[in-house]
A and B are shown apart, each in its own frame.
Chain A
Amino acid sequence: MKLTPDQQAMLDGEKGWPLQIAMQMLTAVGAALDAPDMIPVTSTHLVIDGTALGEAGRDFLERLVEEGGRFAVPTSINAIAVDRTKADMTAEEHDQIRMLEACEKMGALPSCSCNPFIQGILPTFGEHVAWSESATAPFVNSVLGARTNREGATAVASALTGLAPRCGMHLDENRRGEILLKVETGISGVDRFSLLGALAGRLAGDRIPVLDGISTPPGIDEYVAFGAAFAIHGASAMFHIAGITPEAPDADTAFGGLAPAEEFIIDEAAIAAEHAATANGTAGPVDVVSIGCPHASIGQLRDAAALLADGKANGDVTFYIHTNRSTWDAAHAEGVIDALTGAGVSVTADNCAVVSYDRVPSGTRLATNSAKMALFARSVSDAEILFGTTADCIAAGITGHWSGRQQ
Chain B
Amino acid sequence: MAQKYKGNGLVDGIGEGSALVTSEGIAFNLGVDEVTGIVIETGHALEGQCVAGRIVVCRSGKGSTAGSFSLLQLSQRGLAPAAIVNMQADAVITAGCVLAEIPLVHRLDTDITTFSSDDILRVDGAAGTVEILK
A interface with B by C-beta (< 8 Å): 21, 24-25, 28-29, 31-33, 47, 49, 52-57, 59-60, 132, 134, 149-154, 157, 235, 379-380
Contacts and interface: CB of A to CB of B under 8 A. Distances in A.
Contacts of A134: 64-65
Nearest to A149: B91
Q: Which 10 A-B residue pairs are closest in the complex by CB-CB distance?
A: A152-B65, A52-B66, A153-B68, A56-B73, A56-B72, A32-B89, A153-B95, A25-B95, A53-B69, A57-B69
A28 B69 contact: no
B106 A32 contact: yes
Nearest to B62: A235
A29 B94 CA distance: 6
Given A21-B98, A52-B66, 12 more contacts: A25-B95, A25-B98, A28-B98, A28-B104, A29-B94, A31-B10, A32-B88, A32-B106, A52-B69, A56-B73, A152-B95, A153-B96
Contact of A56 (B11, B65, B76, B88): B76
Interface in B85-120: 88-92, 94-99, 104, 106
A52 B91 contact: no
B103 to A, nearest CB: 11
Given A53-B66, A152-B67, A32 B94 contact: yes
A62 to B, nearest CB: 13
Contacts of B98: 21, 24-25, 28
Given A54-B73, A60-B99, A33 B91 contact: yes
Interface residues of B, number: 31
B34 interface: yes
A28 B10 contact: yes
Contacts of A56: 69, 72-73, 75-76
Contacts of A32: 8, 10, 88-91, 94, 106
Contact of B99 (A25, A49, A149): A25
B129 interface: no
Contacts of B75: 56
Contact of A55 (B11, B73, B92): B73
A54 B99 CA distance: 14
B95 A29 contact: yes
Contacts of B90: 32
Interface in B17-62: 29-30, 34, 62
A343 B14 CA distance: 61
A293 B89 CA distance: 31
23 contacts: A28-B95, A29-B95, A32-B88, A32-B89, A32-B91, A32-B106, A47-B66, A49-B66, A52-B64, A52-B66, A54-B73, A55-B76, A56-B69, A59-B76, A60-B69, A60-B72, A134-B65, A152-B66, A152-B95, A153-B69, A153-B92, A153-B99, A154-B68
A56 B101 CA distance: 13
Contacts of A152: 64-69, 91-92, 95
A52 B106 contact: no
Contacts of A151: 65, 91
Contacts of A55: 73, 76
B115 to A, nearest CB: 20
Contacts of B96: 153
Nearest to B34: A54
A379 B69 CA distance: 20
Contacts of A150: 65
A52 B70 contact: yes
A352 to B, nearest CB: 16
B47 to A, nearest CB: 15
A57 B72 contact: yes
A379 B30 CA distance: 10
Contacts of A57: 69, 72-73
Given A54-B73, A152-B92, A154-B91, A28 B97 contact: yes
A149 B69 CA distance: 18
A380 B40 CA distance: 12
A380 B66 CA distance: 15
Contacts of A132: 65
Nearest to B73: A56
Contacts of B99: 21, 25, 60, 153
Contacts of A157: 95
Contacts of B8: 31-32
A54 B66 CA distance: 10
A32 B10 CA distance: 7
A153 B97 CA distance: 11
B11 to A, nearest CB: 6
Contacts of B92: 152-153
A47 B95 CA distance: 15
Contacts of B104: 28
Nearest to B29: A52
